[in-house]
Amino acid sequence: MLVQEFEPKVAIEIGIETGIASAYMCKAASRYGGLVIGIDFREDACQLVTNILPTHFYYIFLNERSQTAYTKVQAIVDKLGQKPVGLVFQDSSHHYQESKDEWALYSPMVNGVWICDDITPSFHDPAIDPPGKGMVQYFEELPGDKRIYQELYPKGVGNKQGVVIV
């Protein structure tokens, strides 16, 4: 399979946690001048990544739901031209409806790859998610060319990532 060089103007991580994915994206973006936007509800996660890789990284700390983040991201990408987001790594709530809402907000600005973390049946919470709807069903309902990949962790530890070509 031929792999092409991929240099998105903007990469977004929704749900930073420890910042590992953001750090890798920032390292790649530093080679060609790309921008990484991290969105999280935990300010300490955002500041951790900013302290490690302060260049090529812009974080959005939220104490509200996703519409606030979307407005801030939209203002940034509007300055860069039409559909400048080439990569989204969605590792946020892991709930069906919240994941669908994020897709509805961000996918129109994407021309590239959307990666969903934790596409497993274990990410279904009956207290929050609709009956029979979890991350597996969310991913299955997404449009586009899709693939699922198993993480390279010891057997039984890792989760699956779903990749969509947008």
Q: What is the CATH number of domain 10-165?
A: 3.40.50.150
C-alpha distances in angstroms, 40 versus 6, 48, 66, 74? Answer: 25, 12, 10, 16
Nearest of 84, 78, 138 to residue 112 by alpha carbon: 84
Q: What is the per-residue pLDDT for 156?
A: 53
Average pLDDT estimate for 35-57: 72
> Does 14 score more than 80 pLDDT?
yes
Q: What is the pTM of this model?
A: 0.86
What integer best gives the mean pLDDT of the chain?
82
Q: What is the pLDDT of residues 76-92, one digit of tens each?
A: 888 888 888 999 999 99
C-alpha distances in angstroms, 37 versus 29, 91, 126, 157? Answer: 11, 13, 31, 28
Q: Report d(CA 85, CA 120) in Å as an integer.
A: 26
- Read off the pLDDT band of 55 (50, 70, 90): low
Express as a percent the part of the chain with pLDDT over 90.
36
**50 or 67, which is more confident?**
67
